[in-house]
Amino acid sequence: MKHPLETLLTAAGVLLMAFLSCLLLPAPTLGLPLAKKLVATFHLLDLSQLYTLLYCLWFLALGAIEYAVIRFVWRRWFSLAERDSRPR
């Protein structure tokens, strides 16, 4: 039987890994003309608001990519569920 908090711990682990990846893989930097154009396009107050949104999106994107990769690796090579269901 699975532990009741296993799903929560898995999601928290993935978010923690994404946070660490954000520290290791910095978000892309925008040039000043492009940043000012984006601030005007999205009606933001200043560049700090733009970069806050950029870092949040970067964090979510890395978390989603890492979740997909880790889930694929786990199911492909480490999951015992498929091995137990095969006929012997």
C-beta separation of 47 from 35 below 8 A = yes
For 13-58, how does the pLDDT look when each residue is reduced to its tens digit (9 = 90+)? 777 777 777 677 777 788 999 999 999 999 999 999 999 999 888 8
Q: What is the pTM of this model?
A: 0.60
CA distances from 11 to 8, 36, 48 (A): 5, 36, 29
Binned at pLDDT 50, 70 and 90, residue 87 comes out as low
CA distances from 5 to 11, 19, 33 (A): 10, 21, 47
Domain ranges of the chain: 18-85
pLDDT of residue 1: 52
C-beta separation of 62 from 22 below 8 A = yes
Binned at pLDDT 50, 70 and 90, residue 85 comes out as low
For 58-68, how does the pLDDT look when each residue is reduced to its tens digit (9 = 90+)? 888 877 887 78
